[in-house]
Amino acid sequence: MGLKNTFVKEIKAGDQVISSFLVSEKNMTFSQKGAPYLSLRLKDKTGEIEGRVWDRAAEFDTLFKKGDIIHIQARAASFKDALQLSIVNLKKPGFSEIDLSDFNPTSKSDIQAMFNDLITIVEGIRNPFLKQLLQSFFDDSVVVNHFKVAPAAKGFHHVCIGGLLEHTLSVVRLLLTVADHYADIDRDLLIAGGILHDIGKIDELTYNNVIEYSDEGRLIGHIVIGVEMINQRIAAIADFPKELAMKLRHILISHHGEMEFGSPKRPKTLEALIIHYIDDLDAKVNAFQSYVEASADNGTDWTPYHRLLERFLYKK
């Protein structure tokens, strides 16, 4: 590999930087004097940094696009209290020179071990129809390969390779605890709903280099995609109970809780209500912890303002 020898978190003002980064944003713009320059957002698994190409901008603009990995020569400087790379030369490295794990964060937990734990939970489902439905997903190698590596979101929570699996397993483990705490819960429906609530994200997001929404993700979204997936597989299971299918579909379409957050229906069954709140809890705890960790070295007991949580976070 060899080209990735400096990570974002290691860069200090004044450093000469010769390394590779993923282009997460790219714009051609103009200085006050009318000269064109490239404004870039560069990332790796440790963070993001702004980059500028002041000279030969039009020439370099044709060499790469958003989502590409580029190898740069640059100098780091502090600008408005933030680091910025002034890029003097760049090229696209060959595929053999790239290790994609350098450029997107990966779940801290072992992906195969998490998947094995999830399958063990599936094997404990007693309802034969729900068990057969879950097995139809996880016996499908295409679904499994995507499910293991997909992130859970683009920018809020579990934004990493394996994030969807990590989030799903966390939600299901919490649901197992809740199922033991409250009476009159359909345990199998609760667990199956937890496992499948975000299944549509394997097609909503793309995650080859940069994490981004697919066309289907932007136009349809993971809730509808997930319901379509479930409907297709239920149709192949003989005598699948109509009411059970309806309750499971309701869990998916209501798990965001409110219409303004993308759910066409609010939770109207006990299982759907519980899954909504557990899903929301797990997402927000992960977002909180990740943001605190990312701002660990900012010299204060508080994080910067979190735009989606709409507050500063206390780190102690």
Query: How much of the chain is in helix, strand and coil states, percent to nearest 5?
Result: 45, 20, 35
Using a 10 angstrom Cβ sphere, with 0-12 exposed, 13-18 middle and 19 or more buried, the burial of residue 166 is: buried
Position 76: which residue type?
Answer: A
Quote the strand ranges of the chain, DSSP E.
16-30, 36-44, 47-53, 69-79, 82-91, 205-206, 212-213
C-alpha–C-alpha distance, residues 99 and 97, integer Å:
7
Kindly give the confidence (pLDDT) of every residue in the chain, 316 residues in length, as a single tens digit, with 9 standing for 90 and above.
Answer: 347 889 998 999 999 999 999 998 999 999 888 889 999 999 998 888 999 999 999 999 999 999 899 999 999 998 887 899 999 999 988 777 777 778 888 899 999 999 999 999 999 999 999 999 999 999 999 999 999 999 998 888 998 889 999 999 999 999 999 999 999 999 999 999 999 999 999 999 987 777 889 999 999 999 999 999 999 999 999 999 999 999 999 999 999 999 888 899 999 999 999 999 999 999 999 999 988 988 877 778 999 889 888 899 999 8
What's the pLDDT tens digit per position in 106-137?
Answer: 899 999 999 999 999 999 999 999 999 999 99
Look-up of token digits 């519980």: 274
**Beta-carbon-side half-sphere exposure of residue 138 (alpha carbons within 13 Å):** 20
What's the pLDDT tens digit per position in 182-216?
Answer: 999 999 999 999 999 999 999 999 877 778 899 99
Q: Quick one: how far is CA 261 from the chain centroid?
A: 17
